[in-house]
Structure 1
């Protein structure tokens, strides 16, 4: 069951993962900005968590803790989201 603790954990992990992805891609400390970083990170946390679950990597991602493995999953998922957005915008432009 999804609880308020899950939502709070996802927001924190999403903020960290989205900020790291923004810093890697943009090369600036602020990344894309607070709200965009949170949105990107939360989407990345969902995608990264699903991807890692399908591949059998980092078991126990569904627990309510903030750990390095959760941040890594959110970062990888955020980078996948950014790559998909880049491909979509490049395809749309041509």
Structure 2
């Protein structure tokens, strides 16, 4: 599957940090899902409000398990805190 240059940069960042291939695939999956959920907006144009909305969507509309929500949150926390250097801050509003 072809990937965007942005996701390729995220993938490289994950590899440089020595994370497992499984973590890489999982994080890329959730980051891609998040971007598509937000109508292909670039993550730099979004922030905590969109992350909270996305996680709420997973819980209420997709009925995913709490642990799955945590994995999605971890992927997005990595994206914003480590890769983009734009900390999300407190997500409990």
How would you bin the TM-score normalised by the shorter chain?
A: 0.3 to 0.5
* TM-score, normalisation: structure 1: 0.33
Structure with higher helix content: 1
Query: TM-score normalized by structure 2?
Result: 0.34
